[in-house]
Structure 1
Amino acid sequence: MAVDHIRYDILVQDALRSVVRKVLADIARDGLVGDHHFYVTFRTHARGVRLSSRMRSLYPEEMTIILQHQFWDLSVTDHAFEVGLSFKNVPEMLLVPFDSVTRFSDPTAGFDLEFKHDDGVEPSANDPGAPEAAAAPEPPASEPAPKAAEAAPAGDKIVSIDAFRKKT
């Protein structure tokens, strides 16, 4: 078999990450539309991820957040997104580089993406490090809270695929 010097696999992964970037940039600008909400799973130990030491100790490998009812200060750049959310009544700001994202899902649309990483470790379909259920309380009074994010309940499974698929 011929060697792929072009690295189509990397090009496709980058193109799919641009879908995530575009969707998050749109909701940062316009807010959520309809019943859409998003599960975003990322490697907490990846370069550039910024989260508190408390959260890193709770989720040393991978973490899933849900952008649905209450989140604030969502901002998106070419390389990362930052979002305020609350875990067990403690507000946190997370900075998540797109390269650290392992899954992106919009259950309303039945849309799921899974990303492979060059470190040789592919994301697991049965996430043993799935976060425990967490309440999503109101943000601090000084922060407007038109939206919220919370950790995914431990029993939730996110359907993962090699590239992408619209469920039928």
Structure 2
Amino acid sequence: MSRTIDYGKLMHNAMRGLIQEVLSDIATRGSLPGEHHFFITFDTTHPDVAIADWLRDRYPEEMTVVMQHWFDNLDVTNDGFSVTLNFGDQAEPLYIPYDAIQTFVDPSVEFGLRFESHDDDDDEYDDDDEAPMEEDAQPEQQRDAEVVSLDSFRK
């Protein structure tokens, strides 16, 4: 049996670590510097997401929140973050695990991360098992590559 390196999973973990570090810095400072602001889209069906029932009813699959001028109680952990945001003059606490995040964008500096969802087919095989390949198929044809180009975010 051979084992492969799951670069996609490693990249996602690194990107989620980046989000954690950015949010931890904001939590410590208490505000966003300069013109920075975040659009965070997340999967509301994730079992660990905690949002008000009326928000879940309104956004049954995904939701995008904005962290900019007013937010409160930002608490960042290794698994996710909680924050209170304003929805039509109503303060609502949210808990968003990093695994539920689909996109994280800071348009002030043209920075964005997108997390591709993986179908259950990807989890069909153990790490020690190899997925069966079609005859004459090359290994790099079996998995979609995820390439993140940072050039588009540089000024």
TM-score range normalised by the length of the shorter chain? 0.7 to 0.9
For residue 152 of structure 1, what is the aligned residue in structure 2? none
Number of aligned residue pairs: give it: 126
For residue 94 of structure 1, what is the aligned residue in structure 2? 94
1:83 Cα deviation after fit: 0.3
For residue 127 of structure 1, what is the aligned residue in structure 2? none
Name whichever of 3-12 and 37-46 sits farther off.
Answer: 3-12
Letter in 2 for 1:16: M
Q: Which has the larger radius of gyration?
A: 2
1:119 Cα deviation after fit: 4.0
| Alignment partner of 1:34 is 2:34 | yes
Give me the whole-angstrom Cα distance separating, in 1, the residues matched to 2:147 and 2:62: 18
What pairs with 1:120-135 in structure 2 (closer than 5 Å)? none
Give me the whole-angstrom Cα distance separating, in 1, the residues matched to 2:110 and 2:27: 21
Give me the whole-angstrom Cα distance separating, in 2, the residues matched to 1:32 and 1:22: 13
| Alignment partner of 1:46 is 2:46 | yes
TM-score, structure 2 normalization: 0.75
TM-score, structure 1 normalization: 0.70
Letter in 2 for 1:26: D
For residue 67 of structure 1, what is the aligned residue in structure 2? 67
Give me the whole-angstrom Cα distance separating, in 1, the residues matched to 2:61 and 2:3: 31
Change beyond 3 A, Cα 1:96–1:75: same
For residue 82 of structure 1, what is the aligned residue in structure 2? 82
1:67 Cα deviation after fit: 0.4
Letter in 2 for 1:88: G
Letter in 2 for 1:17: R
Give me the whole-angstrom Cα distance separating, in 2, the residues matched to 1:75 and 1:44: 19
| Alignment partner of 1:11 is 2:13 | no
SS class of match (1:70)? coil
Structure 1 unaligned residues grouped into runs of 5+: 121-160
Superposition RMSD on alpha carbons, in Å? 1.9
Letter in 2 for 1:13: H
Change beyond 3 A, Cα 1:23–1:44: same
1:39 Cα deviation after fit: 0.7
What pairs with 1:111-126 in structure 2 (closer than 5 Å)? 111-119=111-119
1:91 Cα deviation after fit: 1.4
| Alignment partner of 1:103 is 2:103 | yes
SS class of match (1:17)? helix
